[in-house]
Amino acid sequence: MQESYISLDPAKADSMTSQQRARLWSQRVQEACGGPLGHALGCQMSLTLMVCSYTSMRHKGFRITPLAPSKLPALGGLLLVGICGYGFGTSIAGASMGNSKHYNYLL
């Protein structure tokens, strides 16, 4: 309900319009990057690459459990692969479903 509240107080008018502009700007940036489907594709790519990497590591004898400090570099590598996969998926979605000219203009 707070989102639809519009103050009639002239002293608060500037802050309300700046909030609305900020919300509209972030919505347009998200749509220029492919919208919610871009986020979904990024998450899917991230999970897929993490599972593939874990499967490859599993064939070499790596197991996540039991957790040990010696396994932190491998777990960090899995996390890095997930982050890179998310970036790769969102960039594919931005290129195919988004509008790069509008995104560059907004930024």
What is the distance between the terminal CA atoms of the chain, rounded to a whole angstrom? 30
Q: Look at residue 100 and tell me if it is in a domain.
A: yes
1 pLDDT band, cuts 50/70/90, is: very low
Q: Helix (H, G, I), strand (E, B), or coil: what is residue 5?
A: coil
User: What's the domain count of the chain?
Assistant: 1
Q: Look at residue 5 and tell me if it is in a domain.
A: no
Q: Look at residue 64 and tell me if it is in a domain.
A: yes
| pLDDT of amino acid 12 | 66
C-alpha span between 73 and 79 (Å, rounded): 10
Widest CA span of the chain, in angstroms?
Answer: 67
Over the stretch 67-105, which tens digit does the pLDDT of each residue have?
889 999 999 999 999 999 999 999 898 888 888 888 888
In terms of residue numbers, what domain contains 48? Answer: 13-106
Q: Look at residue 99 and tell me if it is in a domain.
A: yes
